[in-house]
Structure 1
């Protein structure tokens, strides 16, 4: 332990103790024992106050915590063992409860298997302990996911791609072409504009992340969120194109909670579950 490290830790311990109103002034601090059996350096400090004694455990990847030296923790070894056991349990709980970043927003990409797999890889890889080069690799995975989406769109409508003279690897060109195709008309002009901006943001931000060596955790997370949101956007524009936004609504209250009931043979009425309004449905004869 270097003198500089000792001074820094003693300062941190004093600041830490100030957060407890029921602990009196510290009168003495010394490092009682250092443990390395788990592959990391963990120190146990013997801290005396005016009326009590404590063990303070801290070190590499070990959050600082204090334990009273009464009947509960008689030795530095006992305090160390309890602290590391508690830390490992908390880490295990965190891993069990961990939610991928891509679970933070509702996505409709489960059926896009190759894209979904790459985004899950990027999400699992994302960690605050990564080096700059590894953040770059997340940007690369995100960019590859966007290119995979471009290929998927091209396979859906090769005629449109051929007409526009687009290449499968041209994500921005392909995405913008399908935005025009999925939501045409003046009534969708604002949505087309916002969609194109999101497509450009996702591609540009991922490209910047790939080529930058000074990006950090938030940058990689933002890139992943941009990517997931863009892919989900294109899929929902596709649903809109299929007519999923043309659901029948109650003419009285506007609710979409509609139930269809056949009250006579080949005769159907829609009943609103909110206001019980009933309307007969007439089918146009061919």
Structure 2
């Protein structure tokens, strides 16, 4: 327990996010939520703590979808439901990376998006999640937010 307390005193969630994001600028409302779950991971000890991290990760992804998606991206297709993160993410990537030379990049982002969403759901509902699984969930969320921010930065900067 003393080791955990000592490491907590030295631990700064911003350092972890900065390292994982390689300095990618993250929208303030997403960064605030990422900081929150990053701080919680070292305090998590019970299964409910790990499940909560999964739930909050899922909420971050839904918020990410709402942040990156604009209704014109659907074109003539039906608009995705408000919390349909995967569809919003798919339409966003199709919109921004629509050229054929981006096919591999689109495919990788789609796989990462689906895997991150599915893993956050798994952790949220798991009765046997571990610290390492919850930590992986947080890392995946940070990485995915950065991927979408990088796509947006590449387009708009």
Interval of TM-score (by shorter of Structure 1 and Structure 2): 0.7 to 0.9
Taking structure 1 as the reference length, what is the TM-score of the superposition? Answer: 0.49
Match of 1:134 among 40, 45, 49: 49
Which consecutive unaligned segments of at least 5 residues does structure 1 have?
A: 1-60, 64-87, 245-286
Counterpart in 2 of 1:99?
A: 12
Offset of 1:234 from its aligned partner? 0.9
Structure 1 pair 62–97 and aligned structure 2 pair: CA distance change class (3 A) = closer
Counterpart in 2 of 1:255?
A: none
TM-superposition CA deviations, 1:228-250 (whole Å, max 9, x none): 111110111112223x5xxxxxx
Match of 1:108 among 21, 24, 33: 24
Q: 1 or 2, which has the higher strand percentage?
A: 1
For 2:8 and 2:42, how far apart are their aligned partners in 1?
Answer: 12
TM-superposition CA deviations, 1:115-142 (whole Å, max 9, x none): 2111111111112651001100001111
For 1:226 and 1:172, how far apart are their aligned partners in 2?
Answer: 15
Counterpart in 2 of 1:145?
A: 60
Three-state SS of the structure 2 residue aligned to 1:235 is helix
- 1:247-286 → structure 2 map (5 Å cutoff): none
Taking structure 2 as the reference length, what is the TM-score of the superposition? Answer: 0.86
Q: 1 or 2, which has the higher helix percentage?
A: 2
Contact residue 68 and residue 148 of structure 2 kept, 8 A: no
Structure 1 pair 109–137 and aligned structure 2 pair: CA distance change class (3 A) = farther
Which structure has the larger Rg over C-alpha atoms? 1
The alignment covers a number of residue pairs equal to 152
Q: Would you say 1:122 and 2:37 are equivalent positions?
A: yes
Structure 1 pair 129–117 and aligned structure 2 pair: CA distance change class (3 A) = closer
Contact residue 119 and residue 228 of structure 1 kept, 8 A: yes
For 2:117 and 2:44, how far apart are their aligned partners in 1?
Answer: 25
Counterpart in 2 of 1:212?
A: 126
Counterpart in 2 of 1:201?
A: 115
- 1:144-183 → structure 2 map (5 Å cutoff): 144-154=59-69, 157-161=70-74, 163-165=76-78, 166-183=80-97
Contact residue 30 and residue 60 of structure 2 kept, 8 A: yes
